[in-house]
Amino acid sequence: MKRPPIPPSFLHLAGSEAGERKALLIHGVLSSAEKMRPIADALVRAGTCDSVWAYHSWAYRGHVSQSTTSTPSVPTTPPSLKELLDGVGRQLSKKAAIIAETPSHAIEGAGQEIAGLLALLGWENVTLVGHSLGGLVARCAVEAYGAEKQVGVVVSLGTPHWLWSKPHSPEDWQETPVDGVRYLQVVGNDDWVVYRKGWGDFTPDDTEYRGIVKVLHRDLDHGTIRSDFGNSFIPELISAVRDTPSLWRKEHLVLTDCDSDVPTLTIKEDGFDYPGSKALEGFSGRWVQLETN
């Protein structure tokens, strides 16, 4: 059967166009599809994916890639954005404010288009990778518009899920993780957008959902998580979440629980060396710290 033509909203970045292990990358505010190329190259180089594309819609970029000189209006649904950001002051960048103030229709429109195009193309087990606001778009495509039929894992890099969701009321999107889809959130310790760890939570209580893994990376911030992607072991982490029941990959990766006194977990090729921590579900909803030794 003849393959349907690739729509112009999908830009090929790396690997073979006909590759089976596909990833679709979604950029954030003040950015573009081309700036996702370091991630695409890293995913192919590591063998995580063999066909990497980027979402390249001018309808989406035209809104999220323009800075504003005045403060956009914010929905009055309590708590207000001002209350959410109170006390952060200079620590919060202009980009974080733009993300928080991005209207629901910009995200829902992009998510709807992506879900429709994935279904039209018939791609299977796609890895969606969204940087910053792009992580919200990836979630929306899966949770609101049926893309879970084509998507195996949703990866967000430095996405302030909670920060954006509190002042918004999406039209079609309930912001509820889909059972059967794995979720990975990676945030750099020096991220100035996910300034507080809780701003990166998917829901009010992520521990209620299976298949959610949230990782703090010691050496990255909001910008370098995109530009230095190939040197951060994130492709291996994505492969582990997508392809294995356990989070294991390399001997020199260490996951340390950030919220308790649980002993350090050293990842080895034959699985975890910490009893009882062999399954992905054991990390569901918990923030863990990734360190390179």
Structure tokens at 198: 């809780």
- In which residue ranges of the chain is pLDDT below 50? 67-78, 87-92, 248-281, 293
Element (H, E) at 53: strand 51-55
What pLDDT, on a 0 to 100 scale, did the predictor assign at position 66?
60
Calpha distance 286→259 (Å, rounded): 8
- Within 13 Å, how many C-alpha atoms sit on residue 73's CB side? 3
Instruction: Give the per-residue pLDDT at 68.
Output: 41
Q: What is the predicted pLDDT for the residue at 190?
A: 84
- Looking at residue 79, its pLDDT comes to 52
CATH of domain 10-244: 3.40.50.1820
pLDDT score recorded for residue 287: 76
The predicted pLDDT at position 120 comes to 95
238-258: pLDDT as tens digits = 887 887 655 544 444 444 444
Strand order in the sheet with 51-55: 10-15, 51-55, 22-26, 126-131, 151-157, 182-188, 212-217, 287-292, 253-257, 265-268, 271-272
What's the pLDDT score for residue 273?
Answer: 37
What phi and psi values does residue 113 have, to the nearest 5 degrees? -65, -45
**What is the per-residue pLDDT for 270?**
39
* pLDDT at res. 279: 38
Give residue limits of the domains in the chain.
10-244
**Cα torsion for 40, 46, 49, 50, to the nearest 10°?**
90
pLDDT value at residue 83:
54
pTM: 0.83
Q: How far apart are CA 135 and CA 291, in angstroms?
A: 23
pLDDT attached to residue 207: 84
State the pLDDT at residue 155: 98
Tokens for 139?
Answer: 């979630």
